[in-house]
């Protein structure tokens, strides 16, 4: 009889992502272009920057560091099944402690994705989301079952009367494999030669309580400028 496996806690490091807004009170009361409060405008922009920083940290293969400034391990450091290039490429351990070893780059094929999906399926997983860089998303459209010169895609061209618009379907948004469908999602910050196959039921961001997009106000007495720091 096989012994019952006990749960193992997988951990990470809490990383602080922050941006600072600095606007003088003079600038807040004068008539600026656009008619907005410059303080509120910059606050929104800095908040979007924090979210992009978080997106970069999640898709990055960087390994966590506990010394200041702390950096969390990215999602690629928790992957086990798959392939990291040809030759000597080695997948990470899967607990966030390392990023594996990159092998020799090779051209993407549909069979490569099928193989990775099979490995996940055999391990009990069922990925439904494929996160990739923009250049890989474009490359998908050139593969054997997705190229614009392929008969399958050619049949998706919508023929319309002259009074209506004509649409040519040249994109590939879903890849149906033998082990489930994958939604192809391009990500601006994903490394150029990386595809992450994700089972969304098992991945979640976990901000500390009351630390998700915290706003802190401070003022500089010399000129009474308004400052606000955003942190996540």
Spans of all domains in the chain: 18-231
> 24 is written with which tokens?
């003088």
Retrieve residue 216's tokens.
Answer: 């802190």
pTM of model > 0.85? no
For residue 21, how many other CB atoms are within 10 A of its CB? 21
- Tens of pLDDT along the chain (232 residues)? 678 878 888 889 988 888 888 877 777 777 777 667 788 888 889 889 999 999 999 999 889 999 888 899 999 999 888 888 877 788 899 899 998 888 888 888 888 899 999 998 998 889 999 999 999 998 888 885 544 455 554 555 554 455 666 666 667 889 999 999 999 999 999 988 889 999 988 888 888 887 788 777 766 555 555 555 555 6
- Minimal CA–CA distance to 143: which of 179, 107, 196, 191? 107
Residue 13's nearest CA partner among 101, 60, 74, 61 is 74
In SS3 terms, 33-73 reads as CCCCCHHHHHHHHHHHHHHHHHHHHHHCCCCCECCCCCECC
Q: What are phi and psi of 224, to 5 degrees?
A: 55, 40
| Contact present, 169 and 155 (Cβ < 8 Å) | no
């Amino acid at each position: 009889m096989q012994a019952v496996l006990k749960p193992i806690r997988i951990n990470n490091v809490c990383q602080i992502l922050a941006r600072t807004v600095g606007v003088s009170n003079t600038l807040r009361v004068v008539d600026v272009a656009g008619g907005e409060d410059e303080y509120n405008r910059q606050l929104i922009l800095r908040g979007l920057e924090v979210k992009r920083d978080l997106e970069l940290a999640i898709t990055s293969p960087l390994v966590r560091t506990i010394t200041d400034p702390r950096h969390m391990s990215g999602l690629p450091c928790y992957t086990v099944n798959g392939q990291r290039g040809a030759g000597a490429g080695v997948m990470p351990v899967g607990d966030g402690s390392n990023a594996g070893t990159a092998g020799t780059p090779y051209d993407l094929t549909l069979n490569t994705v099928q193989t990775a999906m099979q490995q996940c399926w055999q391990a009990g997983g069922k990925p439904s989301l494929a996160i990739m860089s923009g250049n890989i998303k474009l490359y998908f459209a050139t593969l054997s079952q997705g190229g614009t010169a392929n008969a399958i895609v050619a049949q998706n061209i919508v023929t319309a009367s002259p009074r209506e618009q004509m649409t040519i379907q040249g994109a590939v948004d879903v890849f149906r494999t033998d082990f489930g469908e994958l939604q192809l999602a391009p990500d601006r910050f994903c490394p150029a030669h990386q595809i992450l196959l994700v089972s969304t039921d098992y991945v979640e961001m976990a901000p500390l309580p009351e630390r998700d997009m915290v706003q802190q106000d401070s003022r500089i007495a010399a000129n009474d400028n308004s400052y606000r720091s955003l942190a996540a």
